[in-house]
Amino acid sequence: MSTASLAVEVRDLRKTYRTRRGRRPAVAGLDLSVPHRGVHGFLGPNGSGKTTTIRMLLGLITADSGVMHVFGEPVPHRINRVISRVGAIVEQPRFFPAFTGRRNLELLARAIDTPHARVDEVLAEVGLGDRGDDRFRAYSLGMKQRLAIAATLLKDPDLLIFDEPTNGLDPAGIHEIRRTMRGLADRGKTVLVSSHILSEVAQIADTVSIIGRGRLIAEGQVTEILASGSEQAVRVGIADPQRAAGLLTGAGLQVTTTGDHLLTVSSGRGTRPVEPSRITEILARQGLYVSELTPIRADLESVFLELTADDHLGSSPDGPGTRQAPPERHAGSEDRA
C-alpha cells in the first residue's frame, strides 16, 4: 500500500530510553499502516510502545530513527502542513473545572480561530448537546472524555488519534465512547485508537495493528487477523469427560479439560477446523452423548496471546510492571493536538 493511500505510515521507527538498568527500547523498528477512513485499532499491552509511538507522530517527543508520514507528509518535519487535519487526545484532557462544557469549548474555539457556531455542533456530535451548560466538574468520566473528543472536533479534522480513551470508564461510558468513535468513522473520518483492551476495540475496528515490545506482530483487517489465529475450537459438555477425552485424542484431536464436565476440542494448527459433527460421531459410536456442543470463535485477545506466546512479547522488556521512562516534551507542547 502506497504512502498516498494511507492516513498514517510508519517505517522502522525506533525510540530508546535510558533507565537505571541501561538503555531500554520502547519502540524497536515498528512498522504501522493506517488506511484512510474507518476505525484502526492500535493494540498491545501496557508498555508495548503505543503511547510513545503516538507522541512521536505528533512531534511531542523525538524519534531516534525511522520514517513517519501523515497524509503523505513527512512528520515531524512538515507537521505544520497537516496539523490542522489532525485531532488527538493523549492522556487526560484538561479543562477549567468551574466553567461549563460549552464555555470551555468556546474559549478553545476562540484560541484556534474556529467559528462560535461550531461549539454547539460538536457538543451535539458527542451527545452532550443537553449537558453543555453543566459545569465540567460535575461531568462523569465518560462525559469528560466525550468533551475532550468534542474539543478535537472543533477544527473538523480528518484524522483523530485517541490514546486509551476508555481507561477508567464504567460500561456505560465505554459504550458511549465506542459509539462516538464508530460514528466519526461512519462520517468518513479516520480514527486511530490505541488500547490494551483488545476485546473492546474489536467491536468497532475495521483494521488493526497488534504490537508487542515496540514492534509489529500482526496487521490487517480484523477478519484477516482472526483467521490467522489457531483453528476454531468446540466446547463439549459430557457426563464422562475423561473417557470422552481419551476417545477424541485417539482420533487425532487436541483436547483440554476446562471444567467438571466440559472439554475444549480442536484439530491442531495447520489443519482444517474441527467439525462439531465429527465430535458427536466419534463419541456416539461409543455410547457417549453430548449435553453441549458450542463453537468457540477466535477473538483478538486469544490471537494476540497465541502470536506472542513464543517470544513473551506481551510483557515489557524489563518484566511485568515495568513502566516506560517519562517521555521528553517539547516546550509548550500539549496533550491535546
Greatest pairwise CA separation for the chain in angstroms:
77
| 83, three cell numbers | 496539523
pLDDT tens readout for residues 4-14: 689 999 999 99
| Residue pair 16/159 in contact by the 8 Å Cβ criterion | no
Question: For 233-297, CATH number?
Answer: 3.30.70
Whether 233-297 and 3-227+304-308 are alike in CATH topology: the answer is no
Look up the CATH architecture of domain 3-227+304-308.
3-Layer(aba) Sandwich (3.40)
What is the structure's pLDDT at 323?
37
* Alpha carbon distance 216, 31 (integer Å): 6
pLDDT at position 212: 87
Q: Give residue 331's pLDDT.
A: 32
- Enumerate the domain spans of the chain: 3-227+304-308, 233-297
Residue 196 near residue 164 (C-beta atoms within 8 A): yes
Q: How many residues does the chain have?
A: 337
| Other C-beta atoms lying within 10 Å of the C-beta of residue 130 | 9
Check if the beta carbon of residue 147 is closer than 8 Å to that of residue 126: yes
- Confidence at residue 155, expressed as pLDDT on a 0 to 100 scale: 93
* Strand boundaries in 92-172, DSSP class E: 159-163
CB-side neighbour CA atoms (13 Å) of 87? 19
Residues of the chain with pLDDT under 50: 311-337
- pLDDT at position 203 is 86
Nearest in space to 90 (alpha carbons), one of 181, 211, 194:
194
Cell of 243: 473417557
